[in-house]
Amino acid sequence: MRREGSPFTGVGVVFLKEYADHLGSVRMRVLEILVVLIGVGFTALAIYNVRKTIQRDDFLFLNLFLYQQEDSAVPSLLGALAIVIPLLAIGLGFDAVNSEFNRRTMSRILAQPIYRDALLLGKFLAGLCTLATGLTALWLLIIGIGLLTMGVPPSSEEVTRGIAFLIIAITLAGVWLAIAMLFSVIFRSTATSALCALGLWLFLVIVWPMLVPSIAALVATPDPLANRVGLLSDSQIDWFFGLSRISPSGLFSDAAMVVLQPQTDAAILRTPTVGMLSQLQGMVRGATLPLNESLLLAWPQITTLIAIVISVFAVAYIAFQRQEVRA
**Per-residue pLDDT tens over the stretch 145-187:** 888 887 778 888 888 999 999 999 999 999 999 999 999 999 9
At residue 168's C-alpha, the angle toward residues 297 and 212, to 5°, is 70
Distance CA 320, CA 177 (A): 16
At residue 47's C-alpha, the angle toward residues 42 and 52, to 5°, is 140
Which secondary structure element, helix H or strand E, spans residue 274, and what is its range? helix 274-277
Would you say residue 21 lies in a domain?
yes
Backbone angles phi, psi at 288, to 5 degrees: -110, 145
- pLDDT of 241-285, one tens digit each? 788 888 898 899 888 888 888 765 554 444 443 334 444 445 555
Distance CA 160, CA 96 (A): 34
Query: 111 pLDDT exceeds 50?
Result: yes
- pLDDT of 200-232, one tens digit each? 999 999 898 888 888 887 887 766 666 666 666
**What domain range is 67 assigned to?**
11-321
pLDDT for 186 equals: 92
Handedness of CA 86, 163, 265, 61 (dihedral sign): negative
**Helix axes 116-150 and 77-93, enclosed angle (nearest 10):** 150
State the total domains in the chain: 1
* Half-sphere exposure (Cβ direction) of 119: Cα atoms closer than 13 Å: 21
Cα separations (Å) of 111 from 6, 15, 206, 272, 325?
Answer: 17, 17, 43, 60, 10
Query: 86 pLDDT exceeds 50?
Result: yes
Predicted structure pTM score: 0.86
Distance CA 215, CA 197 (A): 24
pLDDT for 45 equals: 78
Mean pLDDT over each residue of the chain, to the nearest integer: 81
Would you say residue 186 lies in a domain?
yes
Return the exposure string of 37-50: e unless at least 16 CB atoms fall within 10 Å of the residue's CB, then b: ebbeebbebbbeeb
Contact partners, residue 156, CB within 8 Å, separation at least 6: none
Q: What count of other Cβ atoms lies within 10 Å of the Cβ of residue 90? A: 22
Contact assessment for residue 87 and residue 38, using Cβ atoms and an 8 Å cutoff: no
Would you say residue 3 lies in a domain?
no
Would you say residue 1 lies in a domain?
no
pLDDT for 26 equals: 86
Cα separations (Å) of 323 from 31, 108, 197, 280, 293?
Answer: 32, 15, 20, 57, 46
Would you say residue 122 lies in a domain?
yes
Query: 318 pLDDT exceeds 80?
Result: yes
Q: How far is CA 28 from the centre of its chain?
A: 19
